[in-house]
A and B are shown apart, each in its own frame.
Chain A
Amino acid sequence: MRNVQTVAANTFREAVRDRVLYNLVFFALMMIGAAILVGQISIGIERDVIISLGLTAISVIGIFIAIFLGVALVSKEMDKRTLYALLAKPVKRWEFLLGKFAGLVMTLTVNTAAMAAGLYIALWSVTRAWQSSDIYILAAVYLILLKLALIVALALLFSCFTTPFLAILFTAGMYVAGLLAGDLRTVHGVELDPGTLQWMRGISYLLPNFENFNVMGAVVHERSVPVAFVWQATLYALLYTAIVLTGAAIVFSRRNLK
């Protein structure tokens, strides 16, 4: 595990050096702008907009980082030929992959935590009071982080066997398909034979269901997020990420790097 830790720490340091956390400035400016503007152009949704905009920004910025950096984790090392020097040392390929994954998840955790703090500050500046339901924002942020970890794992998997461009497309495609996975089980208005329906049902369970991590609607409207739901989503993310990372490790270990 020491090798994994070393790779993870280096990945985090590299992300910081690459000014990945600069996106926080953009986030801060956007939240300040929204806090000033929204009360003047709309009616009765100041709090809703701050929370939904904040959570959307945390999610979208995180997804961009997870996909683009996730794909670059392996491909960049190969392009720069630093991977060969690293693998010549007693570092197993799966350790390298796991370290890269952990490093980027660490970066995303720091980034997400900073944005969550920014969201709370913006919320305070608009409402000037805390509500007990504000705590659920943390649950939403935590679930977004789980989603981002899963996206990083998918990006790693795809980058192990295809070009960076295709890996980006596949990861983004999986994200969108994963959001619509639930719909495959509840298709209305079309006549389909039972075989097709069963097939679609099967596919819907195979796809990563990203709706499992979406509680934005509930949090915006001050509704509680059940603890059981958070636990189940955590387990789902852990299980699915483990499967994807195992797949990535298998593909990467068989890849001819010469």
Chain B
Amino acid sequence: MGVLLLTGFVCVWQLQEKVDAERTKLQLGSDELTLRSPAVIRRLSLEYAPLLGAVYWTRAVQYFGGKHQAHDSNLEQLWPLLDIATTLDPNLTVAYHFGATFLSDAPPRGAGKPDMAVALLERGIQANPDHWRFYQDLGNVYYFDKKDYAKASQAFEAGSRLPGTPVFMKIMAAKIAAEGESLETSYALWLDVYQTATNKEVRQNAEEHLRLVKMQMDLRALNQIADNYERQTKRRAASIKDMTEAGLLSGQPVDPEGFPYVLGQLGQAEPNPKSPLRAEWMKERK
């Protein structure tokens, strides 16, 4: 009898695999949302909305992670999932915080939809008016993704007025208002994200951004040294070695990944062609 039952289950397993293969051919994506109306789902959840909200948030994380691993930048279902999760549980702060990052980051890191990230965070602020972190997230989205420095400064300033907010928020509000976009400001913003992140992925993402910004700061400094070299010798340096031999540099500078910087054809400092940071740098330049 036991063997018979076991055989039966093995057959069911095999059959399910065949059904799954057929479903793939039919292109019935597993990430399709059967119910899209957050209001309807909230009603159907009865009194168990907080648990269902957590379930939808987990679905959003799994969806984002799955697409990220598959290098698929089509994140069409991300907003509906976050919309449902936050409607079911308006106090689910992680969904606003990480959801905004997922939405605002440019592809391939995120969905490249900063407007939706702003909408999500504004909804989060409305439901959780005392949560100053949302203002910081909002400021970051305006600063990095929308390049709207006035609104970024306003967001930091609004957050700084809440009780218990660190002084950092007021400083950033003033710094962005005064300087607009600057590498130092970007570095300070990412450093705070890195230092306060409780999640491994977020810290890793901040670390990558910090490396990139650090490299840009190095390149800017190298270009200034190259300008000095040109003023002194009346010719542009052909390589980093020229500047070292002229005593303007104490040694071969390297990027945060340990690859030596090079001078391009126009005598401008560039990351090493072998450096993994070069691809990101090229993208930023475009």
Contacts and interface: CB of A to CB of B under 8 A. Distances in A.
A48 interface: yes
A224 interface: no
A211 B47 CA distance: 7
Contact of A216 (B50, B62, B92, B198): B50
Interface string B28-56: 00000000000000010011111100100
B134 to A, nearest CB: 14
Nearest to B49: A217
Contacts of B58: 38, 41-42, 45, 49
A170 to B, nearest CB: 17
B47 A59 contact: yes
Contacts of B250: none
A214 B48 CA distance: 9
Interface band, chain B:
20 to 34
A87 interface: no
Interface string A30-60: 0000000010011111001100110110011
A176 B43 CA distance: 10
B51 A42 contact: no
Given A45-B58, A53-B51, 16 more contacts: A38-B58, A41-B61, A44-B198, A45-B92, A45-B94, A48-B50, A52-B54, A56-B51, A59-B47, A60-B48, A176-B46, A214-B47, A216-B50, A217-B50, A220-B91, A221-B93
A42 B97 CA distance: 14
Contacts, number: 65
B144 interface: no
28 contacts: A41-B58, A41-B61, A43-B57, A43-B61, A43-B98, A43-B199, A43-B201, A44-B94, A44-B97, A44-B198, A45-B92, A48-B50, A49-B54, A52-B54, A55-B51, A56-B48, A60-B48, A179-B46, A180-B43, A214-B47, A216-B47, A216-B48, A216-B49, A220-B89, A220-B91, A221-B92, A221-B93, A223-B91
